[in-house]
Chains A and B, each alone.
Chain A
Amino acid sequence: MFVCGSICGAAVDFLSHRVCLSSPSQQRPNMFPKGTKRKFSDPAEEPASSGDPGPAAPPPAARTLSSSYSLQRQSLLDMSLIKLQLCHMLVEPNLCRSVLIANTVRQIQEEMTQDGTWQIMTQALAAAQCPADRLVATEVLCRQTEPGAQAGQSPKPFPVVGLEEGYHSEEVVMEGEVETEVTMSTLSPQLSSSSYLAGPFGMDPCWDEEDEDGDCEEEEEEEEEEEEEEEEEDEEEEDSEECMSEADEADRDHLSADSRTGEQVFGTFEIKHPTPPPDPALEELFSDVDPSYYDLDTVLTGMQSTPKMGPYDLLESLSSHAPTALSSSASCRSDLNELDHIMEIIVGS
């Protein structure tokens, strides 16, 4: 049965016109269809600072956009990225659907670039990212943070995330990019409230698993299977984030230089996703196989392994077509070592 209730005219309009709304909080309940899954029961918890730039003022162009429109556009963008991600199943994904979603993402990106909001977002993400340890990010996630401080750091994204109640997708993030988006989310005060954190980001279950179960690739595979059984996409996000990064590092260590770095990351999904052979000789052998099919996938899903890569760098790669350089961070290696150590303990027991 179709979940959606009626969508208010305002929500309709945002996609076709730019409606100037007086106050975001007034419009918010109308923006999302009734009956869709909500993480927050109380819309009032959403930040009053949504749309407010805080100390770092966005360029005037961004301000003229109605916050509701940009928020909804953002949620559409997030939803699309998730859809691309979730394409990976046992059967080959539907290419037509992937292409249409990717085109939608490109369209949003283009518009956001013209508005100048793109710049803001990428800057915010860059600022918000911790170049170090992913585990540090965990703390950030779990920490109760000051509303004012966060507002300044990422003016655009987190109000959106806070509002995306109807779309549980925002909690599910692209692999490898999860960290940044997660970080982004937790910077909003309401998101750091216990109800939210306990779910995806908090103490459980992924982080616990993380501690217990250091072997990322196995964990990742298990969790992949688990994920598909579970409704909770939250765990998927966390798991994939953790596993992806670690596994990526491992992959990078093992694989020789390959122009298609995204595929290295892709290759971590051993069971479900084939790894195009990195060896040039093998590539010739398999030239009939057309691994470029998976290039599209990897590009679209933005298999980014480095924490420096924001979720929207994938979009850049869509336009620039240049495989983004993976900057290996020593911190990731230390994570890997830690995990290995932990894994040994687990396996030993």
Chain B
Amino acid sequence: MGEDTDAAPTLNHHGFLPDHNYVTDADIISTVEFNHTGELLATGDKGGRVVIFQREPESKTEPFSQGEYNVYSTFQSHEPEFDYLKSLEIEEKINKIRWLPQQNAAHFLLSTNDKTIKLWKVSERDKRPEGYNLKDEEGRIKDISTVTSLQVPVLKPMDLMVEVTPRRVFANAHTYHINSISVNSDYETYMSADDLRINLWNLDITDRSFNIVDIKPANMEDLTEVITAAEFHPHHCNLFVYSSSKGTLRLCDMREAALCDKHSKLFEEPEDPSARSFFSEIISSVSDVKFSHSGRYLLTRDYLTAKVWDLNMESKPLETYQVHDYLRSKLCSLYENDCIFDKFECAWNGADSVIMTGAYNNFFRMFDRNTKRDVTLEASRESSKPRAVLKPRRVCAAGGKRRKDDISVDSLDFTKKILHTAWHPTENIIAIAATNNLYIFQDKLNSEMH
């Protein structure tokens, strides 16, 4: 993989205005998630909408061409609300989407904003009954005197219709802003995490949840640390991990106690005293944590690095990857313009051999754990024509030796940030959210995982 990725970008615009340079706020993509087979890809945006893409089945005429993703369904998941008690608006922005494993013909996904989680059922309808006795084709009630014989309604094919219906609404359980949801491997429960608490839900029960982590201090003035992300272990239904703003990871075992305030394992890298600055803590804050597919490793993202941890080693990460170390000297400015608080997500490939994360200027980075090679790619309309191969990009230090096509650190556009990325569970297909555009790249040459 690495630089050998040949990508055939498929541009799916939603909300992009070609004639203007501005972006409608509501169209900014806020989360991207493949389902467990990779057939469906869901995106959530700031306006509370969810768009689901479906991969077209592979064409028989072109055996090597893989299916492309087209819009499957769009629905409004969350609406803006007003908290009357606090006199504050509750944003409808979708923070996270998580798919449930498929158990029947329908698909289920959880979507959440700051306060409320919803379970949606996505189902197809391609047949409809015709030949009612009491109603005619348009649905009008027939005059009973005209009915002379009885018939059995028959299912006739119709144009495919995708219906999305809300099945559960899990509300009023979070005082603070929900940042993560994670479905348990038992497929019965899931957890939702906000800044200070984590709750455990049963997918069928909406009026009750169990609080399993609470780090709220008795006196809020003592608050120095918040929860930034949480995830269940992919195989062990009793284990979950949560990350904090101080750069620590805590692995908790729900068998140990009802309230998992006490961690089973604490993963923390000791601070390098020579690198200490006023921004050390801020850049150590973990913005995303992901278990590997195998369940053996953890991938975390902080402001400048991505780290792979071995669950069996708490003292330090197994591997550390510099995402954009050239920003280290610019932390003060990034603090001033608030970019230092940007929360980048990270992703594993299906084989857990490559990790991916986003950066600024619409760049995203991939690191091959085995070959130790890394690549910087750009997701932009200019550089991504359909079927074009993505060209690796390079960021050079200001005033340094510059090759053609290199970008200087000072020219980086910090408003173009790639915070949300997703990797197909089994194939080399990635989805990149660049503000309000979704880019889907496929690796045609190396379609199988190594």
Contact = CB atoms under 8 A, between A and B. Distances in A.
Interface of A: 1-7, 9, 11-12, 15-16, 33, 36, 72-73, 76, 79, 83, 90-92, 94-97, 99-100, 102-104, 106-108, 167, 169, 271-274, 286, 289-290, 292-293, 295-296, 299, 317-318, 321
B302 to A, nearest CB: 12
Given A15-B277, A104-B279, A289-B85, A94 B223 contact: no
Contacts of B368: none
Interface size bracket, B side? 35 or more
B221 A296 contact: yes
Interface in B287-343: 329-333, 335-338, 341
B412 A2 contact: yes
Interface string B407-432: 00110111100000000000000000
A109 to B, nearest CB: 11
Contact of B410 (A6, A16, A94, A293): A6
B223 A296 contact: yes
Contact of B414 (A2, A76, A96): A2
Contact of A100 (B220, B277, B282, B399): B282
A15 B335 CA distance: 13
| Secondary structure dominating the interface of A | helix
A327 to B, nearest CB: 21
A96 B245 contact: yes
A2 B281 CA distance: 23
Contacts of B257: none
A290 B277 CA distance: 34
B89 A7 contact: no
A6 B398 contact: yes
Contact of A3 (B196, B274, B337): B337
Contact of B225 (A1, A4, A99): A99
A96 B228 contact: yes
Contact of A290 (B175, B285, B414): B175
Nearest to B246: A103
Nearest to A104: B278
B378 interface: no
A167 B278 contact: no
B220 A295 contact: yes
B354 to A, nearest CB: 29
Interface string B240-280: 00000100000000000000000000000000001111110
Interface of B: 85-91, 114, 175-177, 195-196, 219-226, 228, 245, 274-279, 281-282, 285, 329-333, 335-338, 341, 398-399, 409-410, 412-415
Contacts of B85: 274, 286, 289
Contact of A293 (B89, B176, B335): B176
Interface centre among A5, A97, A100, A293 (most CB of B within 10 A): A100
B413 to A, nearest CB: 6
A104 B282 CA distance: 8
A293 B87 CA distance: 13
Nearest to B176: A95
A296 B196 CA distance: 13
A95 B177 contact: yes
B221 A295 contact: yes
Interface centre among A95, A108, A321 (most CB of B within 10 A): A95
Contacts of B398: 6
6 contacts: A36-B333, A96-B245, A103-B281, A107-B278, A274-B87, A290-B175
Given A91-B88, A92-B114, A96-B285, 16 more contacts: A4-B337, A7-B332, A12-B329, A16-B277, A79-B336, A90-B88, A91-B91, A95-B226, A97-B341, A99-B223, A103-B224, A104-B279, A104-B281, A271-B87, A289-B85, A299-B220
Given A96-B285, A272-B87, A289-B85, A2 B222 contact: no
A100 B88 contact: no
A97 B333 CA distance: 16
Contacts of A103: 224, 281
